[in-house]
Structure 1
Amino acid sequence: MAREVFDLSFSNGFARTLHERALGDIEQDYPWQSLEPSRYPPLLLARARVGWTENAFNEFCTAAAMGQMLQALVQARAPLDLIGMASRFAIDEVLHIELCARMAMRLGGGAPIHYDPEDIVFALDPSLTPLERSNELVVRLCCVGEALSFPLLSGAMRSASHPLSRSILETIVRDEAHHGKFGFLYLDWIRAELRPAERDRLGKAARQTLDAYRSLWERGPSHVVAGVTSEGFLLEHVRELGWMEASAYAELARVTIEESVRAPLARAGIML
């Protein structure tokens, strides 16, 4: 198994110029200097560095998966409007990678993450047809992953009390809204052609994907007393760094699973 260190770089050539034209002036558009790391205790700062680095890595993986999904959509001859919509998602993820990575750097530097490049895309059954691959990737990536992440990111955005963390989350939430919606637009197109066996297969794939997020709603109990969390951090600091209070986040995850994942899939005849 080849292990690599998660690291990001720019070419600093004309591609960098085009990149900045497409995504805007990230240096100027976000209030990076407004966040002062020395304001926070070392342990919380270290956790924030890990958290924002993990956010960048997750967006990195999602960018790869979005490319995989786009290839499947083209091979399955999905409607051109759906292909066009999906083709924009990878560039959204690239912006999110950069924003999260820059936040980690502002907090003192990215945390080390080691990964296998083969694991950052979905491993699919090679016997599947192009349409079946497309169905599975859309369900896993958009109907579960992105549909779940949008309300959670929205909750974090509403909680974020610092101009920098809030502006970053506002950008990500704006983009993620279309990613989750795409999955169910796709199911509207394909629903009449889904036979019972394929619906059952997709339900199992959705369940498997959802299980990977189980830690979000199985977090241990937490409490806040006089503005201090059970771990001894000021809730004010937690919110400034872009987090929700842990028990509120876990409850939002449980509600989101029912309302944004399970129920919409059931309406398409796909039962978890």
Structure 2
Amino acid sequence: MKRPPASDRVRDEWLRRVEAEYRSCAITQHLGLWLLQIGAAPDLIKGAMRIAGDELAHADLSHRAYEAAGGGEVPRIERDTLRLVRHELDPLEHDVTRVCVDVFCLGETIAVPLFHKLRAGCTVPVARRVLDRVLRDEVRHRDFGWTLLDWLVRDHPLASELRAVIERELPSWFSRLRGVYAPAGAAEKHGISAGDRAWGLMAPATYGEVLSRTLERAWIPRFGKLGFDARRAFDG
């Protein structure tokens, strides 16, 4: 099958993915250090290190897709984005909890159905290889986040404090996700060319649809098992 030509939108999106995966590598590497510092179980520390390696591989594969699409720009990555930010007046465990929920229980959890959708319409081999690998890895990344959260809010000596952090900040994390995946006007944008779809892109409206389904199918039940009301936080 002849490869469809790549549009500017395709190149822009794959370059953005390179940048995002590279940042994810750095962030997870930093989280691994924090887990070491707070005395987390070795399996959690090793899990974070493995995820950092996955993200670096994703960045490399995404760059190959970008180049195959005709892209030639250097990824734009600010060094200050390649680290986690500490709230210096808070215990480190508070920031570990923030990263766990925001990056993994939210970000990596929605990534699974998002990449499933992106992969479903992707037929360009170089792009499909990226999505095959990412989708396989994201399931483990999601599960890592929920395993870490379970330890933090059930078994950690600061569990009650960490629960309070989540109760207080979960609405703002959900609000940020809505801004990313369901911004104003996106719900009406259902159109996408066959070529863009073949390169692993999807219509803006689809992101909002996946967000809504993830709330119902993943966040409400998963957070509910830990004693959090995800519906109220999402609507708050």
Q: Shorter-chain-normalised TM-score: which range?
A: 0.7 to 0.9
Q: Counterpart amino acid of 1:211?
A: S
Choose between structure 1 and 2: higher helix proportion: 2
Match of 1:222 among 189, 208, 223: 189
1:145 corresponds in structure 2 to: 107
Equivalent runs, 1:96-175 vs 2, <5 Å: 96-111=58-73, 114-175=76-137
The aligned length equals: 225
Output one character per residue of 1:139-167: Cα deviation in whole Å (capped at 9) or x when no partner. 22211111121211111112213333222
The residue matched to 2:227 in structure 1 has which SS? coil
Match of 1:198 among 156, 162, 186: 162
C-alpha distance in 1, partners of 2:150/2:162? 15
2:203 corresponds in structure 1 to: 245
C-alpha distance in 2, partners of 1:240/1:168? 13
1:54 corresponds in structure 2 to: 16
- TM-score normalized by the length of structure 1: 0.74
Contact 1:203/1:270 (<8 A) preserved = yes
The residue matched to 1:58 in structure 2 has which SS? helix
- TM-score normalized by the length of structure 2: 0.84
Match of 1:211 among 168, 175, 185: 175
C-alpha distance in 1, partners of 2:148/2:131? 26
Contact 1:217/1:254 (<8 A) preserved = no
> CA 1:113–1:164 in 2, change beyond 3 Å: closer, same or farther?
closer
Query: Which protein is bigger by CA-based radius of gyration?
Result: 1
C-alpha distance in 2, partners of 1:248/1:86? 30
C-alpha distance in 1, partners of 2:59/2:201? 18
Q: Counterpart amino acid of 1:118?
A: D
Match of 1:184 among 146, 149, 156: 146
Output one character per residue of 1:96-128: Cα deviation in whole Å (capped at 9) or x when no partner. 001111111111114565443213333231122
Structure 2, unaligned runs of 5 or more:
none
C-alpha distance in 2, partners of 1:93/1:191? 26
The residue matched to 1:212 in structure 2 has which SS? helix
> CA 1:70–1:129 in 2, change beyond 3 Å: closer, same or farther?
same
Structure 1, unaligned runs of 5 or more:
1-33, 224-228
Paired-residue identity, %: 23
